[in-house]
Amino acid sequence: EFIEGVLDEVIGLFPSKYIHIGGDECPTKMWEQCPRCRARMRVEGLTRPRQLQGYATVRVERFLQRHGRELIGWDEVLDGGVSPTAIVMSWRGTRGGIEAARHGNRVVMVPCDYFYFDYYQTHDPARVERETVATGRPDDVPYVTVRRAYEFSPYEGLDGGQRQCILGVQGNIWREYMV
């Protein structure tokens, strides 16, 4: 009820056909210990706590569809199971996008090591000193250049029919790393 109430407000504010629900950074540790969550798992025939996320995602998607909207979620929504009509944004590499396309889901490829433009643009320590704050440290995070982004093929690993599921790519910049 809470989620549907929030989404009612979102739908009222934004006319977009697409509603991105996130779906990443969803820990299950509390669900494993929660008696109500375990009871819901028994009622729904779920065997793993991660499947609760899939259960919730499908319910949210049905709600959005009743309101003429389409669900988009980060590739973690695949971990709990997702309907074939959900749109998946593959950020943890290309594996999630390939998996989703092979199941017929539409996909936006956003692999972080190609399209997170808040990453450093070089591993050269002298140049890193001149760059603004970026995600992580230069030795922890892959560097992303415009050339690297342009060289990316969102279709690699997919056959002709599966390629039809690729809607495109997206570049991300997370504001907390911008100065």
- Check pLDDT > 60 for residue 137: no
Contact 29, 79 (CB under 8 A): no
CA 36 to centroid of chain Cα atoms: 27
Q: How many other CB atoms sit within 10 Å of the CB of residue 68? A: 8
Strand segments (E) across the chain: 18-20, 70-74, 87-90, 106-109, 166-169
Q: Where are the alpha helices (DSSP H) in 34-153?
A: 35-44, 50-66, 95-102, 112-115, 125-130, 146-151
| pLDDT tens readout for residues 15-68 | 999 999 999 988 899 999 999 999 999 999 999 998 999 999 999 999 999 999
Give the pLDDT band of residue 6 (cuts 50, 70, 90). Answer: very high
pTM (2 d.p.): 0.87
Q: How many percent of the chain have pLDDT more than 90?
A: 69
Of 19-28, 79-88, 140-149, 154-163, which range is least confident? 140-149
Give the pLDDT band of residue 138 (cuts 50, 70, 90). Answer: low
